[in-house]
A and B are shown apart, each in its own frame.
Chain A
Amino acid sequence: MADTLVRAAPVQATGPRRRAGSRTRPRSGPAYLLLLPAVAILLLGLGYPVYWQVVTSLQEYGLAQQFGQPPEFVGLENYARIFAEDDLWAVVVRSLIFCMVNAAATVGIGLALALLMRAVRPWVRLVLQSCLLLAWAMPMVAAVTVWRWLFDWRTGVVNWLLVQIGFDGYAGHNWLAQPLSFFFVATVIIVWMSVPFVALSIFAGLTQVPDEVLEAARIDGAGPAQTLRHILVPMVRPVIAIVLLLQVIWDLRVFAQIRLLQDSGAPVSETNLLGNFIFELGIGRQDFAGAATVSILVLLLTVLLSWPYVRSLMKELS
């Protein structure tokens, strides 16, 4: 994936390649034909669930309907009902903040690691890359379980370490009891799991920066900070933009990590994010219509958040 991103980046950034692309235009008929299977699969795989979601959000659909009673069309009643709940807006705000903080932290740390990889000797880089890949390849449930053990109030290493270095108040401290420290632990886990992808993508982007440019900058007397600000970051901006966008979308939909942490004891309604809220409505309370309604809202939020990027991408292409 990193490879594709890198190759995509120069296409947007440089002129000659774009012209190379336009040379193929006369033969665009077969190209559209080749697109057809992908579009068909998208429509089947995504279109039908979205259609079902929209229809369900306009019906009264609970457990009775799941067991065969005909659902009744209620128009926008579900929207009125769900949007009137204070719970929902608390969850939306919480999710947006959580998503932004996580995406920013992930990309920031990822960029730092990518620069580090560029600066160190090859064997150190190899060790770093292997570690990152291992962290990324770790199955999520296993990773969250280990993190839960680390932060366990009774037998966790984190509390033990804090007590060893003199913070006695952390003996038996429960990290998951308060929403703020709960989200701190969740952020640590999620950033830890997503940094590798970001770091490796940006690093791959950095390897494409021509040495001549850097050499020229050095001759002109640019220091490391200036090189970073005026040369490196602008040249890998497309990569950073797309990983940031992906990260925002992924972090808005985070579900399992939060759910697994909640299972080890946390005030559930105060730590729910959008995904968990939908799960609780649909699966927990069997209010499938309400869950569908919130899902549509999440879809709209995602479109809204990714719109600036999509627009700039379209501008580049046209």
Chain B
Amino acid sequence: MLASLTLTACSGDSDEPSDEPAGDDDVAAEGAEITLWLAGGDTPQELRDYLIDTFAAENPGSTLTIEEVGWGDLVTRLTTALPDAANTPDVVEIGNTQSPTFTTVGAFRDLSGIYDELGGSDLLQSFVEVGSVDGKQYALPYYFGSRYMFYRKDIWTAAGLEVPTTLGEFADAVAQLKTDTQSGFAMGGQDWRNGISWVFAHGGELATVDGDTWTSTLSDPKTIEGLEAWQSIYQTASNIPATERDVAYWDFLNDGTDGAAPAAATIMAPGWARWSLGDLTTNDAGEEVRDGMADTNKWGIFGLPGVDGGLAPVFAGGSNIAISAQSQNPELAENLLRIIFSEDYQTMLGQNGLGPGNTQYTSSLGDDEFAQTMMDTAAASKLTPAAPGWAAVEAAFVYEELFQKIAEGGDVAALAAEYDDIITPMLNG
């Protein structure tokens, strides 16, 4: 609410919005203020400062304002702000799977003119595709993430367990580690974003497209197999209620208060969870922080193994970035994209643990175990269906409900058929 008020004030002051698109050159010459909406706190402050400073230096007289919108509000805020020339942010970050909802209704500016300049075929192609309509690019990859397993090596070792090489071994190990007070593998029942890894691992899909028509494929035998595997692992290894989602799993893996035993032996989380894990230590500013899993005898990571070995495809998180079709300063907005896709900024993304949108700079992630596991799991990862109605499915919490019912022990085949009927019409918008 506050942010939108500020936004109104900003655009009212300097952009002088009008019904017809402003002459780009005039605006650039006069100097203007453009707004970038970043989703959630994923982009570190250092990178935000870099964008603001570099933009001001390269576009004398113009300024960049960065506003943060929570992931949960993003689609809502974009739905109301983007069509409104007076209030639209100029550049927006959007979850990769949310992109089709907006690209298909013409909410974003056609970027095909500057596509090659911004990296072209070097950009992460699965993200480019999800942001394209009829061969034209509207939303480009900002960063990718991946998720892998974090585990308590001390607990696994004490139980005589090794890093598993197949999904079946993983299921057995975490079932063995479960006690009344410790989840072998902590996972909430509604947590489908982690849960669909089991669907993907068994060769299943959430939905398929034929021409323009999307069909939910939960009843596909492979999908059912994956869902049943997930049901079994939830029931045998997790103590977390079936209603939980978006849990701060790292709290479960860390030691409890006063060195009490942790509430979980294994969790699945995005790579940046590392900085919420480890033993307590004091940073330069004197604040109590986690040491990022410094003790390698106590902490470890591995990629979720596949059914027959190798790596299971996990759901790749990540964002696209786009320019609002109603932006009053599209030239300046494109200048901002040039900064974002520059080698400097892409490298900074990598150094901060976010997979750069331009694959040329992937090496900036580093070469330690974390970077390697992230790149390996990202290479094997998959996206959710790029259907026009996908954002609507997410907003209605349909998969949360389905996964909760499966976690509670429901009949998977019957639930799959029931939810196919619900999801298919929603997917097609």
Contacts and interface: CB of A to CB of B under 8 A. Distances in A.
Interface of A: 62-64, 66-69, 153, 172, 174, 176-177, 262-263, 265-269, 280, 283-286
B216 interface: no
**Secondary structure class of chain A's binding surface, majority of residues:** loop
B76 A67 contact: no
A283 B395 contact: yes
Contacts of A285: 389, 392, 395-396, 426
A174 B106 CA distance: 43
Interface string B401-429: 10010000000000000000000001001
Contacts of A283: 75-76, 79, 395
B189 to A, nearest CB: 9
B188 A66 contact: no
A296 to B, nearest CB: 21
A177 B396 contact: no
Contact of B244 (A66, A69, A265, A284): A265
Given A266-B243, A283-B76, A63 B429 contact: yes
B228 interface: no
B289 to A, nearest CB: 22
A285 B106 CA distance: 17
Task: Give 8 closest A-B pairs by Cβ, nearest first.
Answer: A284-B395, A265-B243, A268-B397, A285-B392, A174-B241, A67-B105, A177-B243, A64-B105
Contact of A265 (B79, B239, B241): B241
Given A63-B79, A68-B83, A267-B404, A174 B396 contact: no
A37 B396 CA distance: 42
B101 interface: yes
A67 B82 contact: yes
Contacts of B76: 283
Given A63-B429, A177-B243, 6 more contacts: A67-B107, A267-B243, A269-B396, A285-B392, A285-B396, A286-B101
B140 interface: no
Given A63-B429, A174-B241, A267-B243, A284 B396 contact: yes
B48 interface: no
18 contacts: A62-B429, A63-B105, A66-B105, A67-B82, A67-B83, A67-B106, A177-B241, A177-B243, A262-B397, A265-B245, A266-B243, A267-B401, A268-B397, A268-B401, A280-B396, A284-B392, A285-B392, A286-B392
Interface in B379-393: 389, 391-392
Contacts of B72: 263
A165 B72 CA distance: 39
B367 to A, nearest CB: 38
Contacts of A68: 83, 106
Contacts of A269: 396-397, 401
B255 to A, nearest CB: 16
Interface in B82-115: 82-83, 101, 105-107
A66 B396 contact: no
Contacts of A63: 79, 101, 105, 429
Contacts of B75: 283
A234 B101 CA distance: 58
A203 B83 CA distance: 50
Contacts of B241: 153, 172, 174, 177, 265
B266 interface: no
A52 B337 CA distance: 38
B190 interface: yes
B400 interface: yes
B333 interface: no
B267 interface: no
A283 B79 CA distance: 8
Interface hub of A266, A267, A280, A284 (most chain B Cβ within 10 A):
A284
Contacts of A286: 79, 101, 391-392
B403 to A, nearest CB: 11
Nearest to A268: B397
A267 B190 CA distance: 9
A69 B101 CA distance: 15
Interface string B61-75: 000000000001001
B177 interface: no
B39 interface: no
A261 B395 CA distance: 16
B242 interface: yes
Nearest to A64: B105
A282 to B, nearest CB: 9
Contacts of A64: 105
Given A63-B105, A267-B404, A283-B79, A176 B243 contact: yes
Contacts of B244: 265
Contacts of A280: 395-396
Interface hub of B76, B391, B397 (most chain A Cβ within 10 A):
B397
A269 B79 CA distance: 22
Nearest to B84: A66
Contacts of A267: 243, 401, 404
Interface hub of A62, A63, A172 (most chain B Cβ within 10 A):
A63
Interface in B231-259: 239, 241-245
Interface in B169-186: none
Nearest to B108: A67
A174 B79 contact: no
A299 to B, nearest CB: 22
Contacts of A174: 241-243
Given A265-B188, A285-B396, A66 B83 contact: yes
Contacts of B325: 67
B429 A172 contact: no
A263 to B, nearest CB: 8
A265 B244 CA distance: 5
A176 B189 CA distance: 13
A286 B98 CA distance: 13
A283 B396 CA distance: 10
